[in-house]
C-alpha cells in the first residue's frame, strides 16, 4: 500500500461519526471533509470531484464515507493501469457495508477488512484469490517484490481451479503462501518460485523475491549516485543476485545524510538504514575484509560488510564480500529469514518545523497536515497541539510550556537525531516570530554532527497578520511591516528605532506581542510614536483568537489605543495615512489602496 496517509472522505454530518472511528483505526489517517458540511476537518475541501481526483492522482489511499458511485465517477477518467492505482474503498454512512472498489491488490482489501473490524460491518471482497485464499500474488507482503507480475493471473487461475501449483522456496519465510490454504505442492504446474537470485527475463515461473538481502554500502563524501548505483548493479549481476530481494540499503550513521546513499535507496524503492560505528564494530570478527584504515576514519573495521551483517541479523551469511569500486564499496548479506527493514538500525531522522496557521483547520495548509501526519512525534506548546485534534491520533505528543522555546527545539532535534520523524509545531507561520529561526540558530551555533545529518524541512503557515487582514478586507494592500513589542529578546531601544522608521516610512504596522502582564507601557509608547506621523483617527484593528473559539475583531482609532484593549492573544494592525474604511452590505471593510485606480486614470 502507499506510504501516504489514508484520506478518509466525509461529505456530510451523517458520516462524521463513522469517519472518526476509521481515523482512529487507520494510523496516521487524515479526515478530509466538505468544508460547507464538516467543521474542523484535518483537510477541508470545496470541490468534491476535483479533490478526489487530486488524491487519486497523487497515489493517496481513499476511504470514502459516501455512495460508491461518487468515488467511481470521480476517478473513472484516471483509470489506466491497475498495477499503479491506489486503494479506493467505499463505506456506507452507517458503517455496515464496506466495498473495496479499486486497488484490491494494493491494500484496498486489507483496508476494507480493517474497517469492517472497527465498524462491525462486512467487507465485500470481490478479488477471487483474495476472497478464496486471502492472498494476492501480484501484491505480496511489504518488502516482497514480484519479478514478472504478468504471470500472477495464470497462477491464480490455476489455484482457483484446484491446482496443484508448484511452490519452490529457495530463501526467506513464505508463510503467507504455505499457510494460506491454497493448493500448493512440491510438484505442480505452473510454478511459484521464491528466490533471492536473479531470474531470466523470459522466466515461465512466477518469481517472487523475498526481503532477504541486506546491501551494505560505503563511499567517499559526495560521490555521484550514478557511480554508486553502477557499482552495485555490477556486483549484483556478477553474484547472480536480484535487486528485488534487497530489503534495505545500510551504512554507518555518519552517512545518514549522504546524497548518493539516500538516492540509491530511493531508486531501489527500499529504506535506507544506519548503524552507529560502535554497533558495527561488535561484528568485527565476522568481517571478511577488516580495515585498520577504516577503523581510524569512522570507528569500525568495516562499513559495507558490517552494515550488511548488522541488518541481516543473526544467522546471516556474507554472500558478497566487500567489493571496491571508484570511491565506493558494497557488500551483501543473506538473512536466514525475512528482514523487517523497519526494525533494523535507524532511518535518517527528519524534523519538520510546521506552521499550522491561527488554528482553524481550514487555514492549515495540506503540506503542514501531511508533515504532521507523517511524523511519529509531535512537539509543541499544549494549546497549539490541542488545535490539531484527531491529527495527533497514534502519535507521541510532547507538550512544553510557552516560555520553553529552546527546550522545545532541542527536544525535537534530539528526537530526530535518534532516527525519529518529528514535527515541531508553531502557530501562524513557522518562520515569523516562531521556531524555525531558533532551530537554525541552534544548528549553526552548536555544529553537532548528529543534528547536522538530519533532514530539516520548514512548512509555511498562514500568519496572524494575514489572517487578521483577510478578516478585515485588505489593510495590507500596500507596503507593511511587522514589529514585536516584546523586549525579552530585543532591546527596547532597537524596537523604538524600528517603530520610528515604520512611522516615518508610513508603513501599515502589525504589532505582535503587544502587551503582557508585566509589559503595559510599550503599546502606548508605540501609539505615540506613530501618532507623530499619522492622524489620530487612523484605523486600528484589534484581532484576537483568530480562527479559534472566542474570535473577536474590533476597529478603533489610533488615538484611542490603550493597553487595556489588548492582550498576548491579540494582533494589532495599524493603518497608514491612506488606509480607509468603507461600509458595503452589512459590514465594514478596511483597505489600504495601492494606487491602481490612479494608474488607470493616467493610462
DSSP annotation of 11: -
Same domain, 476 and 582: yes
Between CA 99 and CA 111 the distance in angstroms is 10
Same domain, 218 and 337: yes
- Whose grid coordinates read 465485500? 124
Same domain, 258 and 192: no
Same domain, 285 and 359: no
Does position 479 have pLDDT exceeding 60, yes or no? yes
Same domain, 499 and 517: yes
Predicted pLDDT at 229: 96
Share of the chain above pLDDT 70, in %: 95
What domain count does the chain have? 5
Same domain, 246 and 175: no
Strands (E), 18-105: 30-34, 43-45, 62-65, 88-91, 97-102
Does position 412 have pLDDT exceeding 80, yes or no? yes
CATH classification of the domain holding 241: 3.30.420.180
Between CA 453 and CA 455 the distance in angstroms is 7
Predicted pLDDT at 135: 73
Same domain, 335 and 370: no
Same domain, 498 and 583: yes
Predicted pLDDT at 188: 83
Between CA 76 and CA 122 the distance in angstroms is 25
Averaged pLDDT, 103-117: 81
Nearest C-alpha neighbor of 236 from the set 174, 299, 319: 319
Cβ contact 539:530 at 8 Å: no
The residue among 161 and 309 whose pLDDT is bigger is 309
3-state secondary structure 262-300: HHHHHHHCCCEEEECHHHHHCCHHHCCCCCHHHHHHHCC
pLDDT tens string 166-190: 999 999 999 988 888 788 888 888 9
Residue 135 domain-assigned?
A: no
DSSP annotation of 347: P
**Structural domain of 336:** 213-343
The residue among 93 and 307 whose pLDDT is bigger is 307
Does position 104 have pLDDT exceeding 80, yes or no? no
Same domain, 243 and 283: yes
Question: Measuring CA to CA, how many Å separate 530 from each of 72, 84, 229, 555, 556?
Answer: 60, 61, 63, 17, 15
Predicted pLDDT at 393: 75
Predicted pLDDT at 128: 55
Give the torsion sign (CA, 423, 426, 431, 437): negative
Share of the chain above pLDDT 90, in %: 61
Q: Which of 313, 343, 373 is the last residue of a domain?
A: 343
- Tell me the three state secondary structure of residue 213: strand
User: pLDDT category, 55, cuts 50, 70, 90?
Assistant: confident
Residue 110 domain-assigned?
A: yes
**Element counts in the chain: helices (H) and strands (E):** 21, 30
Does position 47 have pLDDT exceeding 50, yes or no? yes
Cis peptide before 162 (omega within 30 of 0): no
Same domain, 244 and 279: yes
DSSP annotation of 395: S
Residue 70 domain-assigned?
A: yes
Q: How many other C-beta atoms can be found within 10 angstroms of the C-beta atom of residue 188?
A: 16
Predicted pLDDT at 140: 85
Q: Which of 188, 209, 230 is the last residue of a domain?
A: 209
Report for 56-65, 152-161, 325-334, 360-369: range of highest mean pLDDT:
325-334
Angle (CA) 100-11-459 rounded to 5° is 90
Does position 129 have pLDDT exceeding 60, yes or no? no
Residue 572 domain-assigned?
A: yes
Same domain, 325 and 230: yes
Does position 341 have pLDDT exceeding 60, yes or no? yes
Entry pTM: 0.80
CATH classification of the domain holding 57: 3.40.50.11220
- Whose grid coordinates read 525475512? 338
User: pLDDT category, 81, cuts 50, 70, 90?
Assistant: low
Q: Which of 314, 343, 372 is the last residue of a domain?
A: 343
Between CA 247 and CA 496 the distance in angstroms is 60
Mean pLDDT of the chain: 90
Does position 562 have pLDDT exceeding 60, yes or no? yes
Averaged pLDDT, 530-551: 92
Report for 32-46, 173-187, 213-227: range of highest mean pLDDT:
213-227
Burial of residue 183 (number of CB atoms within 10 Å: 0-12, 13-18, 19+): middle
> What are the residues whose beta carbons fall under 8 Å from the beta carbon of 459, sequence distance 6 or more?
352, 353, 354, 355, 365, 367, 368, 371, 430
Residue 140 domain-assigned?
A: no
pLDDT tens string 349-393: 999 999 999 877 778 888 898 899 889 999 999 989 988 877 787
Where is average pLDDT lowest: 147-161, 326-340, 484-498? 147-161
Averaged pLDDT, 555-581: 93
Predicted pLDDT at 136: 75
Residue 239 domain-assigned?
A: yes
Predicted pLDDT at 86: 85
User: pLDDT category, 251, cuts 50, 70, 90?
Assistant: very high
Question: Measuring CA to CA, how many Å separate 154 from each of 113, 138, 480?
Answer: 26, 11, 68
Predicted pLDDT at 96: 86
Does position 603 have pLDDT exceeding 50, yes or no? no
CATH classification of the domain holding 509: 3.30.950.10
Alpha helices in 350-446 (DSSP H): 366-373, 382-386, 405-417, 436-446
> Whole-angstrom distance between the N-terminal and C-terminal Cα of the chain?
59
Does position 453 have pLDDT exceeding 80, yes or no? yes
Between CA 463 and CA 291 the distance in angstroms is 54
Cell of 52: 478526489
Same domain, 225 and 201: no
Cβ contact 73:48 at 8 Å: no
Does position 95 have pLDDT exceeding 90, yes or no? no
Between CA 554 and CA 225 the distance in angstroms is 58
User: pLDDT category, 217, cuts 50, 70, 90?
Assistant: very high
Predicted pLDDT at 107: 78
Amino acid at each position: 500500500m502507499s506510504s501516504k496517509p489514508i484520506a478518509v472522505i466525509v461529505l456530510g454530518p451523517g458520516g462524521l461519526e463513522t469517519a472518526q472511528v476509521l481515523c482512529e483505526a487507520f494510523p496516521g489517517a487524515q479526515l478530509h471533509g466538505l468544508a460547507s458540511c464538516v467543521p474542523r476537518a484535518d483537510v477541508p475541501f470545496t470541490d468534491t470531484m476535483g479533490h478526489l481526483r487530486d488524491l487519486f492522482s497523487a497515489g493517496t489511499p481513499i476511504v470514502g464515507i459516501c455512495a460508491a458511485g461518487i468515488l467511481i465517477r470521480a476517478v473513472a477518467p484516471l483509470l489506466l493501469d491497475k498495477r499503479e492505482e491506489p486503494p479506493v474503498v467505499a463505506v456506507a454512512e452507517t458503517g455496515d457495508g464496506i466495498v473495496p472498489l479499486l486497488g484490491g491488490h494494493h491494500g484496498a482489501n486489507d483496508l476494507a477488512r480493517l474497517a469492517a473490524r472497527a465498524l462491525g460491518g462486512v467487507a465485500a471482497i470481490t478479488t477471487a484469490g483474495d476472497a478464496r485464499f486471502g492472498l494476492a500474488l501480484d501484491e505480496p507482503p511489504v518488502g516482497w517484490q514480484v519479478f514478472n507480475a504478468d504471470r500472477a493471473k495464470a497462477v491464480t487461475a490455476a489455484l482457483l481451479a484446484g491446482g496443484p501449483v508448484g511452490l519452490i522456496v529457495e530463501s526467506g519465510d513464505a508463510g503467507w503462501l504455505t499457510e494460506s490454504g491454497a493448493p500448493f505442492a512440491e510438484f505442480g504446474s505452473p510454478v511459484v518460485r521464491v528466490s533471492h537470485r536473479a531470474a531470466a527475463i523470459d522466466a515461465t515461473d512466477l518469481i517472487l523475491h523475498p526481503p532477504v538481502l541486506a546491501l551494505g554500502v560505503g563511499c567517499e563524501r559526495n560521490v555521484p549516485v550514478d557511480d554508486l548505483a553502477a557499482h552495485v548493479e555490477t556486483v549484483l549481476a556478477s553474484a547472480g543476485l536480484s535487486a528485488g530481494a534487497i530489503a534495505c540499503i545500510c551504512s554507518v550513521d555518519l552517512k545518514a545524510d549522504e546524497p548518493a546513499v539516500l538516492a540509491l535507496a530511493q531508486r531501489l524503492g527500499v529504506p535506507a538504514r544506519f548503524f552507529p560505528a560502535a554497533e558495527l564494530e561488535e561484528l568485527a570478527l565476522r568481517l571478511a575484509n577488516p580495515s585498520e584504515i577504516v577503523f581510524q576514519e569512522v570507528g569500525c573495521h568495516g562499513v559495507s560488510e558490517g552494515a550488511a551483517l548488522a541488518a541481516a541479523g543473526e544467522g546471516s551469511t556474507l554472500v558478497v564480500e566487500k567489493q571496491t569500486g571508484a570511491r565506493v564499496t558494497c557488500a551483501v548479506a543473506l538473512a536466514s529469514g525475512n528482514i523487517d527493514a523497519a526494525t533494523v538500525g535507524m532511518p535518517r531522522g527528519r524534523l519538520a518545523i510546521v506552521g499550522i496557521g491561527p488554528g482553524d483547520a481550514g487555514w492549515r495548509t495540506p503540506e503542514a497536515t501531511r508533515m504532521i501526519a507523517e511524523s511519529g512525534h509531535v512537539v509543541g506548546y499544549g494549546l497549539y497541539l490541542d488545535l490539531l485534534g484527531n491529527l495527533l491520533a497514534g502519535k507521541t505528543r510532547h507538550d512544553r510550556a510557552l516560555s520553553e522555546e529552546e527546550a522545545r527545539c532541542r527536544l525535537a532535534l534530539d528526537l530526530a537525531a535518534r532516527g525519529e520523524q518529528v514535527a515541531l509545531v508553531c502557530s501562524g507561520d513557522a518562520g515569523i516570530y516562531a521556531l524555525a529561526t531558533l532551530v537554525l540558530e541552534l544548528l549553526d551555533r552548536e555544529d553537532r554532527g548528529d543534528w547536522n545529518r538530519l533532514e530539516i524541512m520548514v512548512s509555511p503557515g498562514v500568519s496572524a497578520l494575514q489572517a487578521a487582514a483577510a478578516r478585515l478586507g485588505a489593510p495590507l494592500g500596500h507596503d507593511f511591516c511587522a514589529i514585536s513589542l516584546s523586549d525579552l529578546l530585543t532591546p527596547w531601544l532597537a524596537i523604538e528605532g524600528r517603530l520610528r522608521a515604520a512611522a516615518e516610512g508610513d508603513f501599515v504596522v502589525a504589532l505582535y506581542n503587544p502587551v503582557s502582564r508585566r509589559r503595559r507601557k510599550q503599546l502606548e509608547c508605540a501609539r505615540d510614536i506613530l501618532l507623530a506621523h499619522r492622524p489620530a483617527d487612523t484605523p486600528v484593528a484589534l484581532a484576537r483568537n483568530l480562527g479559534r473559539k472566542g474570535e473577536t475583531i474590533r476597529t478603533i482609532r489610533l488615538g484611542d489605543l490603550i493597553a487595556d484593549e489588548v492582550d498576548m492573544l491579540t494582533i494589532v494592525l495599524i493603518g497608514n495615512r491612506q488606509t480607509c474604511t468603507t461600509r458595503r452590505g452589512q459590514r465594514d471593510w478596511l483597505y489600504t489602496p495601492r494606487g491602481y485606480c490612479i494608474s488607470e486614470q493616467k493610462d
